[in-house]
């Protein structure tokens, strides 16, 4: 099928209708088409002539109508789009099936090709990589630029839990059962936590965040200095030292201890 | 062979401990130059290298974690990129700690710099079990990523190739931007469009960057807008509204959310491009740390190491110092011998006593400084310095100082000059200034010579050690108290945070340590040395002029008479006695000449002010001389009491002191010597390290006033009690 071939909305509808008829009855007739689409038979023959000139259908007057290979491909693609848009409206936006069907029909034609294409990609992306978070949108951009591999999406999924946790923290100021939320200074050496809030203000707070103490980051208290203060905290794979008074402003959700240190 | 080489400027950026300095040394070798960024004490290193027909100028930016306006280093780094427009910014990333290192890289991207990323220590990353897909990372971040192992000099040529290619790249930059989510993006777009109207600012900065910085509440960009934009009111008002709006949306300050999002972008990129190749092997660095910062043995080990550093600096330095002193004495003799023996030429005196004495005192510190910086370079490059601060912070924080202040203060027991230079390891200016200002209160080695002379003169044997301890402890307490005082007055403000990386332990390289030590030595000689020399010559003049012709003639006549007596008198017993008499005359002459000199006059002039402290003009004059170096006090006292070489005749000087002064005065002299007037070298080095005369003068004045008041109190209370 030539990429450049642009069909009018009604021709696309005809092609779709023929595709459905052919898959149901192996062949299509002018009368069937006109019944299915609610148009008169002369309009159908006009459309068939056009489609035939694009080499999408085999059409001779009074003969049964079949699709050419290009026609099948084209129609399949259309159906795929339609289904994706419909499913998106149905599953993601939770619209009524009838409303979804109706809107999907109109959306297919109302928006231009590139936007529809991007929309289809998005719906596809939602299906392939179900997760959330801001980075997810960023990933979508990358998904559009290159073909996304399944491996990539698997990795997305793995970090899904983490992202969901972060998102919930963002929505709710603090979980109801906040018994597990403690200041970082309250963790003993070897204990782990996930940052939920960095308190304080001004340069110090900013500095602490910039050193990697962002919401959702996992931290582990490595040890205390010999005199009991400051603390040595492992964050993003490196060691950061903070005074207890600074660590007191960082709230963490206590996590189960990591397996014993010496373990191989 | 090209005749004209194209020059390309590369700015080297990176986190502290990312190996940036090693890359810099690797790139430029010995062709480097150390200076300062204009107006500040932050070092600026530059070097050159020729590469494939290009002359590459490499500028080492300060090591930073971010590009906020909160620290001077970060401001310098971003000013350099914005204003001097280097052709390429090369950001050195520690491959073993990619996420945090990329935080800075992302900000350079935002700044619109042509960026090349050097994935340094890529060998270590492999050992740690990370595999970085450089291709992918490069696509995700929109700039080339080059692997390097700077300690082995690997990848340098590739880095330069990439930098040159990036410079010649014509496509528009930057191709990748961090997206902050639509709520923030909306505000960024709003502010950007306002900023675009401000030509003066927008011509130099990307409006998007300015908008982000304004949302981050960047004080400097705000100030720039206020100064340079016609529509500044409109912009700042929009910023206020945007900030408020975002605060209600996120329940947090936009600057925090923005930092969050940057890390979000980075962890997305890292998840895409970094693969963990299974369980990382055990971490050597953590093993070492479990011993060196151990709860129980960490502190003793630290004290032991500090003892070693102290010994290394001052014990190994001592013989070299003596050697240098001998060398200068020899030089003095050689130059003296150019004149006839009896000549009293002013030029000879200037050269021998003024210049050579001055140069001698400059260079006599050099061995200490070299050894000290050798030790410090090893401590820093190995990563132990951060641990030292970690261990000592609990104590130092109590007086408003930083854990890193401990090492300079410890070194001050040896000599104040290298101690002040050691404050370079402190990152925050307030910490650094405070430490510099109080360091002279710690009794240095030169002051020990004063105590050693004075204490036996006034105190019985059983008391001596105790008095010495008391003096040292007073010094330490005063230093800590002054630090606290300075932190609540002159350098008021929040205590600087202890948000400090504990970098992995690494083997220092011989080359890195050597370059570091050499730089420090040069800097000392060039910058502080000149001031010390100048003041030494002035002090020489003060103690030598004006001369009195009559006095000289009178003594010459008397000495000639005694000389004749010696010649006429044949027997040997008398000869010794007459020689003794001659020496006595010479000493008396020197004493009277000093009394007559400007220094002597100043001493007399100050006497009324010094009386309440129990001091007379002789002590005043000696203190004036002691400004050249503390130990000169002893020599000057020797001269005013006509004892001659005080070093060899401590006993007779002590006798004189005992006869002339009370025990209370003796103690007051030591107290005053301990607190007051740091020596000229201290003042010079303070000026150098603090960056302005203001602080040097403040230190000098403050210490003198403190000494005066405390000594006055002690003396007056002492008088009342006795």
Instruction: List, as one string, the DSSP characters of chain A.
Output: --TT----HHHHHHHHHHHHHHHHHSSB-HHHHHHHHT--HHHHHHHHHHHHHTTSEE--TTS-BEE-HHHHHHHHHHHHHHHHHHHIIIIIS---HHHHHHHHHHHHHHS-HHHHHHHHHHHHHHHHS---SHHHHHHHHHHHHSPPPHHHHHHHHHTHHHHHHHHHHHHSSS-SSGGGEEEGGGPPTT-EEEEEEE-S-HHHHHHHHHTT--TT-EEEEEEE-TTS-SEEEEETTEEEEE-HHHHTTEEEEEEPPPSPTT--
Gyration radius of chain B over CA positions: 31
- B595, B640 in Cβ contact below 8 A? yes
From the CB of residue B688, how many other CB atoms can be counted at a distance below 10 Å? 22
What's the CATH number where B217 sits? 1.10.287.1770
Q: Is B505 on the interface with A (CB under 8 A)?
A: no
**One domain, residues B10 and B157:** yes
> Low-confidence residues of chain B, pLDDT below 70?
1-4, 30, 35-41, 171-175, 278-282, 341-344, 361, 494-495, 527-528, 568-575, 642-650
Comparing CB atoms, the residue among B103, B250, B272 nearest residue A210 is B103
| Closest CA relative to residue A231, chosen from A183, A188, A182 | A188
What's the CATH number where A241 sits? 2.30.30.90
A172 belongs to a structural domain: no
Q: Is B384 on the interface with A (CB under 8 A)?
A: no
**One domain, residues B121 and B203:** no
**One domain, residues B160 and B213:** no
**One domain, residues A70 and A114:** no
Cα-based torsion angle of the residue sequence A114, A120, A122, A126 in order, rounded to the nearest 10 degrees: 180
- B8, B22 in Cβ contact below 8 A? no
B315 belongs to a structural domain: no
Across the interface, whether the CB atoms of B268 and A138 are under 8 A apart is answered yes
Domains of chain A: total: 3
**One domain, residues B238 and B200:** yes
Across the interface, whether the CB atoms of A214 and B271 are under 8 A apart is answered no
Measured CA angle at A156 (ends A151, A160), to 5 deg: 145
**Domain boundary residue, one of B534, B566, B596:** B596
Q: How far is CA A143 from CA A7, B138, B272, B620, B717, in A?
A: 28, 16, 12, 82, 83
A14 belongs to a structural domain: yes
Gyration radius of chain A over CA positions: 29
The interface residues of chain B toward chain A in range 335-364, judged by CB-CB distance below 8 A, are none
Q: How far apart are CA B394 and CA B366, in angstroms?
A: 33
**Domain boundary residue, one of B234, B250, B266:** B250
Comparing CB atoms, the residue among A227, A228, A239 nearest residue B502 is A239
**One domain, residues A47 and A86:** no
Q: How far apart are CA B628 and CA B599, in angstroms?
A: 12
The interface residues of chain A toward chain B in range 46-65, judged by CB-CB distance below 8 A, are none
Place of tokens 């105190």: B459
**One domain, residues A65 and A125:** no
B9 φ, ψ (degrees, to nearest 5) = -105, 125
**One domain, residues B196 and B139:** no
The interface residues of chain B toward chain A in range 6-65, judged by CB-CB distance below 8 A, are 65
Q: Tell me, what's the pLDDT at A150?
A: 52
Residue B705 vs residue A50, higher pLDDT = B705
Q: Is B395 on the interface with A (CB under 8 A)?
A: yes
Q: Which two tokens stand for residue B713?
A: 């109190």
Q: Is A73 on the interface with B (CB under 8 A)?
A: no
Domain range enclosing B233? 182-250
Residue to test with chain B: of A184, A206, A228, most B Cβ within 10 A:
A206
A215 belongs to a structural domain: yes
Band (pLDDT 50/70/90 cuts) for residue A261 is very low
B678 belongs to a structural domain: no
**One domain, residues B65 and B150:** yes
Tell me how far the alpha carbon of residue B228 is from its chain's centroid.
36
Across the interface, whether the CB atoms of A239 and B501 are under 8 A apart is answered yes
Compare all CA atoms of chain B with the CA of A140 and give the residue at the minimum distance: B268
What average pLDDT does the segment A158-181 reach?
53
Q: Is B577 on the interface with A (CB under 8 A)?
A: no
B76 φ, ψ (degrees, to nearest 5) = -60, -45
Q: Given a cut of 50, is residue A60 above it in pLDDT?
A: yes
Q: Which two tokens stand for residue B53?
A: 């027909």
Across the interface, whether the CB atoms of A134 and B251 are under 8 A apart is answered no
Q: Tell me, what's the pLDDT at A51?
A: 86
What's the CATH number where B126 sits? 3.40.50.300
Enumerate residues 6+ apart whose C-beta is below 8 A from B45: B24, B32, B33, B34, B35, B59, B60
A125 belongs to a structural domain: yes
**One domain, residues A65 and A99:** no
**One domain, residues A69 and A87:** no
Q: Tell me, what's the pLDDT at A135?
A: 61
B472 belongs to a structural domain: no
The DSSP call for residue B630 is T
Q: How far apart are CA B405 and CA B483, in angstroms?
A: 11
What's the CATH number where A66 sits? 1.10.10.10
Residues of B within 8 A of A214 (CB-CB) are 259-260, 263-264
The DSSP call for residue B614 is T
The interface residues of chain A toward chain B in range 178-207, judged by CB-CB distance below 8 A, are 198, 201-207
B197 belongs to a structural domain: yes
B591 belongs to a structural domain: yes
- B711, B613 in Cβ contact below 8 A? yes
**One domain, residues B164 and B188:** no
Residues of B within 8 A of A243 (CB-CB) are 393, 397, 497-498
Residue to test with chain B: of A236, A245, A246, A250, most B Cβ within 10 A:
A236
Burial B623-634 (b: 16+ CB within 10 A, else e): bbbbbbbbbbbb
Q: How far apart are CA B605 and CA B607, in angstroms?
A: 6
Work out the widest C-alpha separation in chain A, in whole angstroms. 98
Q: Is B79 on the interface with A (CB under 8 A)?
A: no
CA distance B303 to chain A (A): 12
* Ramachandran area for residue B436 (φ above 0: left; ψ -120 to 50: alpha; else beta): alpha
Q: Tell me, what's the pLDDT at B57?
A: 93
**One domain, residues A195 and A136:** no
Residue A82 vs residue B65, higher pLDDT = B65
Domain range enclosing A242? 180-255
Q: What is the DSSP track for B226-290?
A: HHH-TTHHHHHHHHHHHHHHHHHHHSS-HHHHHHHHHHHHHHHHHHHHEEE-SSPPP-HHHHHHH
Across the interface, whether the CB atoms of A240 and B397 are under 8 A apart is answered no
Strands, DSSP E only, in B463-590? Answer: 500-502
A200 belongs to a structural domain: yes
The interface residues of chain A toward chain B in range 213-242, judged by CB-CB distance below 8 A, are 214-215, 217, 222-230, 232, 236-242
Q: Tell me, what's the pLDDT at B716?
A: 93
B651-658 contacts at long range (C-beta below 8 A, 24 or more positions apart):
B653/B453, B653/B457, B654/B453, B654/B456, B654/B457, B655/B457, B657/B454, B657/B457, B657/B458, B658/B457, B658/B458
**One domain, residues B50 and B106:** yes
Burial A221-238 (b: 16+ CB within 10 A, else e): bbbbbbeebbbbbbbbeb
Band (pLDDT 50/70/90 cuts) for residue A195 is very high
Q: Tell me, what's the pLDDT at A224?
A: 92
A142 belongs to a structural domain: yes
Residues of B within 8 A of A152 (CB-CB) are 272
- B98, B107 in Cβ contact below 8 A? no
Residue to test with chain B: of A129, A132, A135, A205, most B Cβ within 10 A:
A135
Compare all CA atoms of chain A with the CA of B254 and give the residue at the minimum distance: A206
Q: How far apart are CA A260 and CA A238, in angstroms?
A: 19
Q: Tell me, what's the pLDDT at B162?
A: 92
The H-or-E segment that residue B45 falls in is: strand B43-51
From the CB of residue B231, how many other CB atoms can be counted at a distance below 10 Å? 14
**Domain boundary residue, one of B113, B145, B168:** B168
From the CB of residue B201, how many other CB atoms can be counted at a distance below 10 Å? 20
A202 belongs to a structural domain: yes
Q: Is B500 on the interface with A (CB under 8 A)?
A: yes
Band (pLDDT 50/70/90 cuts) for residue A153 is low
**One domain, residues B27 and B94:** yes
User: If you count them, how many residues does chain B have?
Assistant: 722
Q: Tell me, what's the pLDDT at A176?
A: 43
**One domain, residues A201 and A247:** yes
Q: Is A162 on the interface with B (CB under 8 A)?
A: no
Enumerate residues 6+ apart whose C-beta is below 8 A from B358: B532, B533, B534, B535, B536, B537, B540
Comparing CB atoms, the residue among B250, B272, B293 nearest residue A225 is B293
A167 belongs to a structural domain: no
Domains of chain B: total: 3
Q: Given a cut of 70, is residue A148 above it in pLDDT?
A: no
**One domain, residues B150 and B196:** no
Q: How far is CA A244 from CA A208, A228, A249, in A?
A: 13, 9, 9
The DSSP call for residue B151 is G
Q: Is A68 on the interface with B (CB under 8 A)?
A: no
**One domain, residues B148 and B196:** no
Across the interface, whether the CB atoms of A242 and B499 are under 8 A apart is answered yes
| Closest CA relative to residue B592, chosen from B646, B554, B541, B648 | B554
What average pLDDT does the segment A5-21 reach?
81
Residues of A within 8 A of B179 (CB-CB) are 137-138, 141
**One domain, residues A86 and A45:** no
Average pLDDT taken over every residue of chain A: 76
B558 belongs to a structural domain: yes
Q: Which two tokens stand for residue B192?
A: 């950007």
Place of tokens 């930057």: B174
**One domain, residues B156 and B21:** yes
B144 belongs to a structural domain: yes
Strands, DSSP E only, in B95-180? Answer: 115-120, 130-132, 145-148
The interface residues of chain B toward chain A in range 140-169, judged by CB-CB distance below 8 A, are 140
B189 belongs to a structural domain: yes
Q: How far apart are CA A97 and CA B397, in angstroms?
A: 68
């Amino acid at each position: 099928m030539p990429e450049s071939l642009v069909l009018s909305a009604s021709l696309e509808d005809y092609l779709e209708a023929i595709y459905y008829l052919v898959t149901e009855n192996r062949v299509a007739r002018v009368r069937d088409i006109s019944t299915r689409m609610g148009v008169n038979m002369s309009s159908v023959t006009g459309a068939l002539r056009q489609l035939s000139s694009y080499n999408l259908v085999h059409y001779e007057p009074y003969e049964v109508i079949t699709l050419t290979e290009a026609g099948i491909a084209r129609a399949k693609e259309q159906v795929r789009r339609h289904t994706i848009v419909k499913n998106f409206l149905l599953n993601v936006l939770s619209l009524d099936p009838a409303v979804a069907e109706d809107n999907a029909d109109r959306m297919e034609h109302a928006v231009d090709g590139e936007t529809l294409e991007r929309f289809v990609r998005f719906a596809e992306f939602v299906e392939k990589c179900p997760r959330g978070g801001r980075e997810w949108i960023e990933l979508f951009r990358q998904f559009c630029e290159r073909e996304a591999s399944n491996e990539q999406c698997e990795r997305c999924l793995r970090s899904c839990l983490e992202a969901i946790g972060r998102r919930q923290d963002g929505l709710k100021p603090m979980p109801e059962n906040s018994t597990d939320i403690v200041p970082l200074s309250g963790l003993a050496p070897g204990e782990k936590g996930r940052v939920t809030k960095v308190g304080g203000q001004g340069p110090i707070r900013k500095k602490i965040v910039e050193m990697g103490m962002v919401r959702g980051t996992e931290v582990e208290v490595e040890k205390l200095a010999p005199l009991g203060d400051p603390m040595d905290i492992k964050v993003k794979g490196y060691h950061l030292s903070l005074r207890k008074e600074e660590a007191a402003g960082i709230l963490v959700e206590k996590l189960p201890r990591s397996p014993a240190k010496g373990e191989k | 062979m090209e005749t004209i080489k194209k020059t390309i400027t590369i700015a080297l950026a990176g986190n502290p401990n990312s190996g940036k300095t090693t890359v810099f040394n690797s790139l430029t070798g010995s062709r480097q130059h150390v200076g300062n960024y204009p107006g500040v004490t932050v070092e600026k290193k530059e070097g050159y290298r020729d590469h494939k027909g290009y002359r590459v100028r490499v500028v080492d930016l300060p090591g930073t974690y971010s590009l906020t306006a909160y620290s001077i280093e970060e401001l310098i780094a971003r000013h350099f990129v914005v204003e001097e427009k280097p052709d390429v910014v090369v950001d050195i990333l520690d491959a073993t700690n990619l996420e945090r290192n990329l935080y800075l890289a992302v900000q350079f991207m935002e700044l619109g710099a042509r960026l090349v990323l050097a994935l340094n220590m890529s060998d270590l990353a492999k050992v740690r079990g990370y595999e970085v897909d450089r291709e992918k990372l490069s696509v995700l971040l929109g700039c080339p990523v080059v692997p390097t192992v700077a300690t082995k000099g690997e990848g340098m040529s590739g880095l330069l190739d990439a930098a040159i290619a990036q410079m010649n790249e014509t496509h528009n930059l930057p191709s990748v931007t961090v997206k902050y989510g639509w709520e923030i993006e909306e505000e960024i777009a709003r502010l950007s469009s306002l900023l675009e109207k401000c030509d003066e600012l927008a011509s130099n900065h990307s409006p998007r960057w300015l908008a982000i910085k304004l949302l981050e509440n960047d004080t400097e960009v705000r100030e720039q807008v206020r100064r340079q934009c016609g529509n500044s009111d409109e912009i700042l008002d929009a910023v206020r509204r945007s900030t408020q709006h975002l605060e209600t949306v996120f329940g947090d300050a936009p600057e925090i959310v923005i930092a969050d999002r940057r890390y979000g972008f980075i962890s997305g990129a890292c998840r895409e491009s970094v693969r963990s190749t299974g369980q990382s092997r055990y971490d050597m660095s953590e093993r070492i740390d479990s011993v060196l910062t151990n709860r129980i043995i960490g502190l003793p080990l630290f004290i032991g190491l500090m003892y070693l550093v102290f010994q290394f600096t001052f014990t190994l330095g001592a013989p070299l110092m003596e050697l240098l002193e001998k060398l200068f004495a020899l030089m003095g003799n050689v130059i003296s011998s150019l004149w006839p023996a009896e000549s009293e030429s002013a030029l000879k005196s200037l050269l021998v006593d003024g210049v050579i004495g001055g140069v001698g005192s400059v260079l006599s510190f050099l061995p200490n400084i070299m050894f000290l910086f050798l030790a410090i370079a090893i401590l820093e490059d190995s990563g132990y310095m951060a641990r030292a601060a970690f261990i000592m912070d609990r104590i130092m924080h109590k007086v408003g100082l930083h854990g890193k202040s401990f090492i300079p203060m410890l070194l001050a027991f040896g000599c104040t000059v290298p101690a002040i230079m050691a404050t370079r390891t402190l990152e925050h200016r307030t910490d650094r200034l405070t430490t510099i200002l109080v360091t002279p209160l710690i009794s240095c080695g030169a002051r020990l010579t004063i105590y050693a002379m004075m204490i036996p003169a006034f105190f019985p044997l059983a008391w001596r050690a105790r008095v010495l301890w008391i003096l040292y402890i007073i010094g330490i307490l005063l230093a800590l108290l002054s630090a606290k005082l300075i932190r609540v007055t002159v350098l008021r403000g929040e205590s600087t945070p202890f948000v400090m990386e504990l970098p992995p332990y690494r083997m220092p390289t011989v080359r890195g340590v050597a370059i570091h030590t050499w730089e420090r030595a040069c800097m000392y000689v060039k910058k502080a040395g000149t001031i010390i020399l100048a003041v030494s010559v002035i002090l020489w003049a003060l103690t030598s002029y004006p001369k009195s012709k009559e006095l000289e003639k009178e003594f010459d006549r008397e000495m000639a008479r005694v000389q004749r007596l010696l010649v006429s008198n044949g027997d040997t017993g008398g000869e010794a006695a007459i020689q003794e008499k001659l020496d006595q005359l010479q000493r008396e002459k020197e004493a009277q000449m000093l009394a007559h000199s400007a220094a002597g006059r100043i001493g007399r002039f100050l006497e009324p002010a010094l009386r309440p402290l129990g001091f007379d003009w002789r002590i005043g004059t000696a203190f004036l001389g002691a400004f050249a170096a503390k130990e000169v006090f002893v020599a000057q006292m020797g001269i005013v009491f006509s004892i001659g070489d005080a070093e060899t005749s401590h006993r007779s000087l002590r006798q004189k002191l005992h006869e002339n002064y009370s025990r209370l005065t003796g103690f007051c002299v030591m107290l005053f010597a301990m607190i007051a007037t740091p020596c000229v070298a201290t003042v010079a080095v303070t000026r150098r390290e603090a960056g302005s005369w203001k602080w040097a003068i403040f230190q000098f004045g403050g210490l003198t006033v403190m000494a005066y008041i405390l000594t006055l109190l002690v003396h007056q209370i002492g008088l009342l009690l006795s």
